Structure 1
């Protein structure tokens, strides 16, 4: 028995080392790709292999980053876009989950609304931007609405589907103990659907950034979306790429936060 326990312990340690090694290898390759991309970009720009006016270079973008950091404009524009994106992300995601719960609760309502949800999901939500801005007026609220509306329908459809795919045996067991519909929703349906919700969060990170940046394209006079449009207008493509890299960087941070949340929920589960 002691020999078996020792053997199991050794196997577990080997498994942990293997997982750690795989994570390190993944991180190493990510760093290699990152450094290689910017090195090739810089090399191609310096030696005229690409048009320096259009594609700029990492060194030029870094110089601009330091300038914007020193004069405070980086934080001014960044905080506005971050606020709008985070607000749009939470509003869109929470509203989608609530709508999915309402549809799950009422079979009749879900049957009535199902074709409309499919049609709304097929519509290019970005095209609704001008209508939203005209209806709500230019400002933070219309841009946040753009960030939210672009993700709310897909969240509703994915989460509602996850609710319906939960093993019916869980519900049958709870019903046999006299549980109410609310109880088996909170005790079985909702917890079992958490992985699908987390997957939706990951998708919504990108969708929220798209919605907000498009909203800023249309109406804003501040924020990263405004800087991108302004950069195109004055043919300052270094400013455009600087803004795009900031969007990519902070979208990646939001994605990592969602992944950490996923790990915490899975461990607690």
Structure 2
């Protein structure tokens, strides 16, 4: 049997969840409603801004000619590949930097410089080196997202409780055991938060790559719509991109909750 205080506590939690969920949905509906009203009554330039029902018609038209699913699949596939590779490589580099203090001191300024570079400026070079294909897009996305996971996880690793590390050393634990049993495990929450950032950066990198070289994907649709001055197609693509971005974040957030 629950106590009265515990029942009240659970009731307040459910109430808070309902309020948060309600206002999340309400704000979206409210903003879309205002946008629709302004567009329907020609209070805004619909050629430049479109409006929700017009976007809905464009989405249906894209579904009818079977092209939208292809574009969504290509962008999603490139994002997942980029996310997985940047996470694995970034974690590996962060581990190496933690493992060797000397190496971290040597490489840290170079990583900082590379992180500060505008990655889009490397696009033409990537096209020349890798060709106008998926490799260039994935590499662009990796370059944009990888430094976040390297720097975040390396900083998390070196901030691990020194007392606990000293205690493990006193029990004759080797460096591998210290890393796997303490350093990595204690920083799983940091990894979870970093992954949520990384998935968004991977998607941004993919879109940037698609704007430069792709013949398929949502980035290509945005670029194509801009070229033919079909701003409704551009806004529709951005709208779909926002939904996909949220779905990716939602999935990663759910997975990382279970991990952490």
Residues 199-247 of structure 1 deviation map (CA, whole Å, 9 limit, x = unaligned): 1111112211111111111111111111101101111111111111111
Cα deviation for residue 45 of structure 1 reads 0.7
1:37 match? 31
Cα deviation for residue 185 of structure 1 reads 0.3
Which of 114, 125, 135 aligns to 1:131? It is 125
1:198 match? 192
**Any gaps of 5 or more consecutive residues in structure 2?**
none
Cα deviation for residue 171 of structure 1 reads 1.2
Which of 205, 212, 217 aligns to 2:211? It is 217
Residues 233-263 of structure 1 deviation map (CA, whole Å, 9 limit, x = unaligned): 1111111111111111011011111211232
Aligned partners of 1:264 and 1:13: how far apart in 2?
Answer: 26
Is 1:76 aligned with 2:70? yes
Aligned partners of 2:5 and 2:89: how far apart in 1?
Answer: 45
Aligned residues between the structures: 260
2:92 match? 98
1:259 match? 253
Matching of residues 1-269 of structure 1 within 5 Å: 9-266=3-260
Residues 133-152 of structure 1 deviation map (CA, whole Å, 9 limit, x = unaligned): 11111111111111111011
Aligned partners of 1:158 and 1:246: how far apart in 2?
Answer: 30
Aligned partners of 1:183 and 1:13: how far apart in 2?
Answer: 44
Instruction: Please identify runs of 4+ aligned residues in structure 1 that moved more than 4 A.
Output: none
Aligned partners of 2:99 and 2:116: how far apart in 1?
Answer: 24
Cα deviation for residue 33 of structure 1 reads 0.6
1:3 match? none
The CA RMSD measured in Å over matched residues stands at 1.3
Aligned partners of 1:205 and 1:51: how far apart in 2?
Answer: 34
Any idea what SS the aligned residue of 1:179 has? coil
Aligned partners of 1:244 and 1:125: how far apart in 2?
Answer: 21
TM-score, normalised with respect to structure 2:
0.96
